[in-house]
Structure 1
Amino acid sequence: MRSLITGLSVTAVLFSGAIFGFFYAWVCSTMWGLDQADPHVAIAAMQAMNASVRNAVFFPAFFLTPAVLALAALVIWRDGQRSPAFWIAASAATYLIFGLFLTMTVNVPMNEALALIAVPDEIEAAEAIWSDYSSRWQFWNQTRTVASGIALALAGYGIARLRTD
């Protein structure tokens, strides 16, 4: 049981850290860079990135993080370690609601709407499209980034409370 708990705990933290890092990179580099670019380029680049993110490498961290966290919490709970299980379950719920669900209901629809837009030739039109999209998208990305960071911290806290016997 100890090796199963260790393996699940490491996997849970790895997945949680991967998705937090992914969202965080958008906060502190990608979007700032796109905001500094020509809006024609920013729109086209964002469309390309949104189309490319749906891949087998991204899938585990984005979709499986809450499942791995929940499985870890369940196994740890069944081992009689209620407090660590609680914190890891709280991590799973936090990411599920404010990371995965938020992304699927807010960011993804925004990305899909942007994908349908032909990049306009006029700079003013491109600036208006990008400015509206970027500011709203970044707000929600920052929200899911903070939530994913909290989920990572909760998982780490729960794991730190595990018995080592």
Structure 2
Amino acid sequence: MKPALCVFSLLSLLSSGAIFGFFYAWVCSTMWGLDAADPAVAIGAMQAMNASVRNAVFAPAFFGTPFFLLATALLAWFCRLKAASVIFALAGLLYLLGGMVLTMTVNVPMNEALAVVAIPQDAAEAQRIWDDYSTPWQFWNVVRTIVSGITLALTGLAIHLSSRTAAGAPA
């Protein structure tokens, strides 16, 4: 594999894995924990987490993944690794639509709406607010988790095909 393709393949794999892991952690621990907590606490905790997630550690995986994948697809194409190129491109487009665009059009607006909610003193009202937020938010998070998991699997497949083809094995 050419050095640039190797570097971008690694960036694609790392960013795909990072964003899949991020979304997956929300599925199997964070939201279940918040659902088990007092709803007023859950609302406040989610507001704090949403306010802190836009940072320099999160940004490369969230925003960079589709661009790393599409750049890797171009490099693979120029290296005459057509099957790998198509799979890298498919992974990039899949995450772009089912990960980043979904997040920006569904989860982020839900987060912004929750951010302006004053935490109610009434337990029943806090429960209603949390249930109205948590259930649909988790549904869409599962969707983006599945999409990012498929993106990660496709990235691994494309790397496998790249290394086999570059080594002279049939793709």
* TM-score normalised per structure 2: 0.95
Aligned to 2:166: 164
1:63 equivalenced with 2:99 (yes/no): no
Q: What is the alpha-carbon root mean square deviation over aligned residues?
A: 0.8
Tell me, in whole angstroms, the C-alpha distance in 1 between the residues paired with 2:42 and 2:108. Answer: 17
Q: Percent identity?
A: 57
Tell me, in whole angstroms, the C-alpha distance in 1 between the residues paired with 2:3 and 2:19. Answer: 24
User: How big is each residue's C-alpha offset from its partner over 1:60-118, in whole Å with a ceiling of 9 and x where there is no partner?
Assistant: 00001000000000000011110000001000011000000000000000000000100
Runs of 4+ in structure 1 deviating by more than 2 angstroms, as ranges, are none
Tell me, in whole angstroms, the C-alpha distance in 1 between the residues paired with 2:72 and 2:41. Answer: 43
Tell me, in whole angstroms, the C-alpha distance in 1 between the residues paired with 2:6 and 2:158. Answer: 12
Aligned to 2:79: 79
Tell me, in whole angstroms, the C-alpha distance in 2 between the residues paired with 1:82 and 1:65. Answer: 20
The alignment of Structure 1 onto Structure 2 pairs a total of residues equal to 165
Tell me, in whole angstroms, the C-alpha distance in 2 between the residues paired with 1:132 and 1:118. Answer: 15
Tell me, in whole angstroms, the C-alpha distance in 2 between the residues paired with 1:115 and 1:94. Answer: 29
Structure 2 stretches lacking a partner, 5+ long: none
Aligned to 2:47: 47
Aligned to 1:33: 33
User: How big is each residue's C-alpha offset from its partner over 1:116-165, in whole Å with a ceiling of 9 and x where there is no partner?
Assistant: 10000000000000011000000000000000000111111111101233
Aligned to 1:105: 105
Structure 1 stretches lacking a partner, 5+ long: none
- AA at the equivalent of 1:123: A
Tell me, in whole angstroms, the C-alpha distance in 2 between the residues paired with 1:8 and 1:115. Answer: 36
Tell me, in whole angstroms, the C-alpha distance in 1 between the residues paired with 2:78 and 2:105. Answer: 33
Aligned to 1:2: 2
Matched position secondary structure for 2:166: coil
